[in-house]
Structure 1
């Protein structure tokens, strides 16, 4: 009796992991192939994997744009042993594409004014386009949060500018919270007052990080962001509200 072969079960594609020694006691992990966005997603999943795995000798994990630096006790484990442990965990299903929570969308209002956008004219001149064109690119591009920088600042990319935006020659010693800044083709939001060399082109009235909230931020790497320029007259109505994900096409930045 003839039998029909069973249909193949769909499988999820595993990441090929590139593991490079980084000094005596650190290992640089990357997704070895794929588009820039796929490598960034791979980096986020690798970070989650290492935290879940807690391999022997682990000291710290530092996330980069498309890489993860794993620091370890070189007296407890070697580069090769740690890399093999992580690769085996990934092969067992720990680092598959399509896992984790679904990305959320955040719509962030931005006020543009002389006080809130001191670097906008210079950014426009540097790129050879108008200030309106700079803001048009900002508003029309859905950005991905690639990583959380210092103080949980969401770092996003990539803006399709016609060139790279340079950093300030002299970093500011104190940038106001909520400042929307650009450098290269990336954007970032300043959560708390502090120094920065990024160029400030606007400010959001929303609070993007609040230690009284649990968790302190509503966004994680992999989430999506859209900026929306609003008139300064709307500032007071939104000031201090905690940033939350957009649902049903509307802004849902609830009160603190």
Structure 2
């Protein structure tokens, strides 16, 4: 068994799907398109399609920002056979960003903004040429797509509707509190556990988004949608420590705590 990347023998599909052998037992999939937002959204949709179809021999699907790594049993299927199966699966399912998969969930995350919880809000506002209120307004109006789960299962999301890119901190913090809502570029992330980060902190959610005592440890996954909602600081004690769940997994969730999946109830997301 080799571990190096195999020569790039790219196999194009009418849907502009690129499947490239990656070692002996994996394929790297990318959706070819000029628009980065389209590539990310279509990549999330592709992951959803493959999870629904579960092609023979597939062992795992690992999401990247604009790619999917599909690991498979090389004794059960070859690169070419799996690539062809994936082509057929894509042919019968739209990769358009608006085509939602049956397993996609949507979340509304409460966020408290204060001097303690939002140390970088003012600097982000100055960098973007906006008021802090306008930054929060644009952030709350953004429907974000989870592209991948970063270190410690942190949801890395794309689609923040800022008028420009947000730079990272000149000096990264050595310890960022769990629940911190952070931005960089036009992406956002939530810190699940205490740890270092160079992203800029603009708020904090009182919810527990990752808990190893739960099964699974998170309610979200790549491809899911998130929106943030600023709530009064007085709501912190009521929501603090509650585990983020989907509305269809654990019953009706209080406003700001849960979400609306395909089987859930009403939802603020479009």
> Normalised by the shorter chain, which TM-score bucket?
0.7 to 0.9
Structure 1 residues 9-48: aligned runs within 5 Å: 15-20=15-20, 27-33=27-33, 36-44=36-44, 46-47=46-47
- Residue 253 of structure 1: aligned partner: 257
2:108–2:228 CA contact under 8 A, matched in 1: yes
Distance in 1 between the 2:86 and 2:25 partners? 21
Is 1:164 paired with 2:165?
Answer: yes
- Residue 82 of structure 2: aligned partner: 86
SS at match of 2:28: strand
Structure 1 residues 50-89: aligned runs within 5 Å: 52-53=54-55, 55=57, 62-69=62-69, 82=79, 84-89=80-85
Larger deviation, residues 244-253 vs 143-152: 244-253
- Residue 4 of structure 1: aligned partner: none
Gaps spanning 5+ residues in structure 2: where? 1-12, 259-270
State the 1:61 CA deviation: 5.3
Instruction: Output one character per residue of 1:171-226: Cα deviation in whole Å (capped at 9) or x when no partner.
Output: 11111110000000011101111111111100000011111111111112222212
**Aligned-CA RMSD value:** 3.3
Distance in 1 between the 2:61 and 2:246 partners? 27
2:109–2:257 CA contact under 8 A, matched in 1: no
- Residue 7 of structure 2: aligned partner: none
Larger deviation, residues 170-179 vs 139-148: 139-148
State the 1:240 CA deviation: 0.1
State the 1:27 CA deviation: 4.9
SS at match of 1:89: helix
* 1:25/1:35 CA distance change after superposition, 3 Å: same
- Residue 10 of structure 2: aligned partner: none
Distance in 2 between the 1:178 and 1:24 partners? 39
Is 1:190 paired with 2:191?
Answer: yes
TM-score between the two structures when normalised by the length of structure 1? 0.77
Distance in 2 between the 1:68 and 1:168 partners? 29
Bigger Cα Rg: 1
Aligned residue pairs, count: 234
Larger deviation, residues 138-147 vs 119-128: 138-147
SS at match of 1:91: helix
- Residue 127 of structure 1: aligned partner: 128
